[in-house]
């Protein structure tokens, strides 16, 4: 399958090193998968299959989290590590039912998507709500709505991909409407104490695209609608964005949204060192640090980081014996 499990670092001094484990990009319907191999939670059987996973995560002292996603015009592509790019042909397990706010393709390798009708956009809110309910029943305690990286919810936010003329396009109010409606709907099926997060691309990195100022404004709106935290990434709306990546290159977005909107934030991107992650949380730049690729490179990063920062966590006996010597 194409999904990764991410660890969220909450900071050793700030919270005792607590963490959550998140599965990314779980599709809310079949045609919303990024690749044919992605996890889904569009039926009860899928939710039941994930329950043993959430139970195991809890048994290890962590919090299970799930990222709900719909790829929109980017759906049905090859896995990232495939030698082939573009959308998978129908005869090889792909599909040709990509949808989007507007019939605008992402690049020349992808199909022109079909524009969603107003009624279908309204149904999309229910689709995410149903996926949230199933996620809660499966034992997930944190739900994240994926509105970043050029996928469907981000496609609604960005004027690059949203050129609609109904109540879901045009003004900031209209472009953010579906996400605001979705946050309210998803919160309704979550019991008290469960966490609702939204992952956004804080900027498109191109003129005429989604901006950090709009992200601050959206965070202020969603804070009043029951969203607990913004997971701050960037980019993905256009293939020609000039993104100045480097160590912690997106942390300033998390810091600005946290400061100006009063919304708790998570920092992500180019965070690889224990002290780097700790300083982001301890200095108040963000409330959480999300780790993805670094955990793929080094699955033992959490234990090694805790040891480096003097906040050792329990090790399996076989490994702890080596660490303590």
Catalytic residues: 151
Signed CA dihedral, 249, 236, 292, 87: sign only = negative
For the beta carbon of residue 44, count every other beta carbon within 10 angstroms: 13
Start-to-end Cα distance in the chain: 38
Going by the DSSP 8-state scheme, the letter that residue 137 receives in this structure is H
- CA diameter of the chain: 67
Would you state the structure tokens that stand for residue 266, as one six-digit string?
């998570």
Q: Could you give the CA distance from residue 259 to residue 121 in angstroms, rounded to a whole number?
A: 32
Signed CA dihedral, 98, 103, 105, 111: sign only = positive
Total residues belonging to the chain = 325
């Amino acid at each position: 399958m194409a999904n990764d499990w991410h660890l969220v670092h909450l900071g050793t001094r700030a919270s005792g090193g607590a963490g959550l484990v998140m599965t990314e990009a779980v599709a809310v319907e079949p045609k919303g998968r990024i690749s044919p191999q992605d996890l889904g939670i569009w039926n009860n059987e899928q939710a039941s299959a994930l329950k043993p996973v959430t139970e195991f995560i809890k048994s290890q002292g962590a919090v299970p989290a799930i990222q709900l996603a719909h790829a929109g015009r980017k759906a049905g592509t090859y896995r990232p590590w495939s030698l082939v790019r573009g959308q998978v042909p129908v005869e090889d397990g792909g599909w040709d039912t990509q949808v989007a706010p507007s019939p605008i393709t992402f690049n020349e390798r992808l199909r022109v998507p079909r524009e969603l009708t107003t009624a279908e956009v309204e149904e999309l809110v229910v689709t995410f709500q149903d996926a949230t309910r199933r996620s809660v029943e499966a034992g997930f305690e944190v739900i994240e709505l994926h509105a970043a990286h050029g996928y469907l919810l981000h496609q609604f936010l960005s004027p690059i991909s949203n050129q609609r003329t109904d109540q879901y396009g045009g003004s900031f109010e209209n472009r953010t409407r579906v996400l605001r409606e979705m946050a309210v709907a998803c919160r309704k099926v979550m019991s008290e104490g469960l966490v609702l997060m939204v992952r956004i691309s804080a900027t498109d990195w191109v003129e005429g695209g989604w901006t950090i100022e709009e992200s601050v404004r959206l965070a202020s709106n969603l804070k009043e609608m029951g969203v607990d935290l913004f997971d701050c990434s960037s980019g993905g709306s256009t293939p020609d964005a000039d993104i100045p990546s480097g160590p912690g290159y997106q942390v300033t977005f998390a810091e600005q949204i946290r400061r100006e909107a009063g919304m708790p934030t998570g920092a992500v991107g180019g965070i690889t060192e224990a002290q780097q992650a700790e300083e982001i949380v301890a200095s108040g730049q963000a409330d959480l640090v999300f780790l993805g690729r670094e955990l793929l490179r080094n699955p033992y990063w959490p234990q090694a980081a805790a040891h480096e920062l003097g906040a050792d966590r329990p090790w399996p006996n076989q490994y702890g014996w080596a660490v303590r010597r």
